[in-house]
Amino acid sequence: MNYYCLTATLLAPLAIQRTRQNNAPGALPYLPGSSLRGAVAAKYLREGGSPDDDEFRTLFIENPVFFSNLLPTDHDGKIISQVLPLTSVSCKRYPGFTDENGHGVRDILAKKMLERIDPDNYSEQACIKCDNDLKGLSGFWNGNMVAPRMFQPTMFFQRHTGIDRTTGTVAPAIFFITQAISDFQKTLTGDYECQILSCGMFMNDRQIAVLEPLFKTPLFAGQDRTRGMGELQVAVEPFNIETPDIDTWDRNFKGIIKHNAGDNLDPALLSGLYFSLKLESHAILVDEFLRSTTEIELTLPCIEPVLKVTKSQLIRGWNDAWGLAKPDDMGIIMGSVYLFRYTGNNREGLRQYLNKLAIDGKLAIDGIGLRRAEGFGSVLICDPLHTRKEAI
């Protein structure tokens, strides 16, 4: 399996509705993996392919490709964006990274762990620059600890009126609004650039040989495609990644624990090997009875859960092939963080287990939860933001 970077240049606005309710016009600021998967399948079938073809089965049925979410990125499309964890906070009045004129972003995973153990000895933190409250910060960023940067697409609203079928004029009392990602973004210098989305995917040689011809001409995704929306040009190229250094992350995280605990430090907290798991996409988790859960069951012995910072969300979808809505699933939102501790002696076995679960957080080889071929359950092991003492 090789790792590839997919970049999608928007040739027209892209609208992926958040819900199926007409009175809620909000759109997602990214292209979900399920929508990308459906667009690729639809194009393959439109160009004369059949669901019984070996190529189709290679992509979608037998050892299917895991289509990851396409997230906003820079104007070159060379960066695979990451999701900010739910444990990241910033100033309430001036949120954002210091390089982007904000008061800095910091992570409070270690602080939350200590607060859970001894809540009486820890109080709410404030911004060190203006003493305002710290609030959670969400969104997408480049993952660069030295030169951090947020990626936020340009969103806009479209207003529509109904047409009376008899007169061909505007129908009274029919007015609705839709939201979409713009096909351009404005730079700090006032110039306009194409909006680009990116993701990472694992594929074998046969799968990439089937996909590359499909990407030579534009794909169409999202809603309102008959109105000229949802056109995007996809390119794919190899991408190098590195496996996370779990030992270094554990050492740095324990340094954060010592820094926050001070004189209240319990030596038992420094035993074992800590590692974190952050959801890079929504995850649909179930227990052995297929009931929705927020717990991640790691099968390797001697792993114990320490803390989780999660939020739940109802996941909806639409299947064009059926012409019906997909069944609703309760999922855990992207950015949720799980902290674990390993107390065993086989650290090399732990590294191999985690590297198979997810490499550099992009599209997981195995992943977690259900519907992984649609981009759900992608994870990042040992996000370095959790071990940063200062705000960035």
Per residue in 225-243, pLDDT tens?
888 899 999 999 998 877 7
Q: Residue 365 above 50 pLDDT? A: no
Q: Which two structure tokens, joined as six digits, stand for 36?
A: 């990308």
Average the pLDDT over 259-273 and give the result.
Answer: 85
CATH numbers and ranges of domains, the chain: 2-81+151-238 (3.30.70), 83-145 (no CATH), 246-387 (2.60.40.4350)
- Cα separation, 124 vs 137, in Å, equals 16
- Strand duo 379-381 + 71-72: pairing: unpaired
Number of H helices, E strands in the chain: 6, 23
Q: Residue 108 above 60 pLDDT? A: yes
Contact by Cβ (8 Å): 65, 55: no
Q: Residue 134 above 50 pLDDT? A: yes
Instruction: Give 325's contacts (C-beta < 8 A, 6+ positions apart).
Output: 20, 316, 317, 318, 319
Positive or negative, the CA dihedral 131, 134, 140, 143 is positive
Hey, is 339 helix, strand or coil? strand
Contact by Cβ (8 Å): 391, 106: yes
- Cα separation, 207 vs 44, in Å, equals 13
Residue range 166-203, pLDDT digits in tens: 888 988 888 888 889 999 887 777 788 899 999 988 88
8-state DSSP, 297: -
Hey, is 11 helix, strand or coil? coil
- Cα separation, 122 vs 133, in Å, equals 15
- At residue 359, the pLDDT reads 40
> Can you spell out the DSSP letters for 128-156?
TTT-PBEEE--SEE---SSS--EE---EE
R_g of the chain, CA atoms, integer Å: 22
- H-type alpha helices, 327-379: 347-357
Residue range 137-150, pLDDT digits in tens: 999 999 889 999 99
Contact by Cβ (8 Å): 382, 251: no
- Strand duo 88-91 + 105-107: pairing: antiparallel
The fraction of the chain above a pLDDT of 70, given in percent, is: 95
Under the banding of pLDDT at 50, 70 and 90, the label for residue 20 is low
Q: What's the pTM?
A: 0.89
Query: Between vectors from CA 98 to CA 93 and to CA 101, what angle results, nearest 5°?
Result: 60
Residue in the structure block whose two tokens are 């999202």: 222
Q: What φ, ψ does residue 43 adopt, rounded to 5°?
A: -70, -40
| Amino acid found at 335 | G
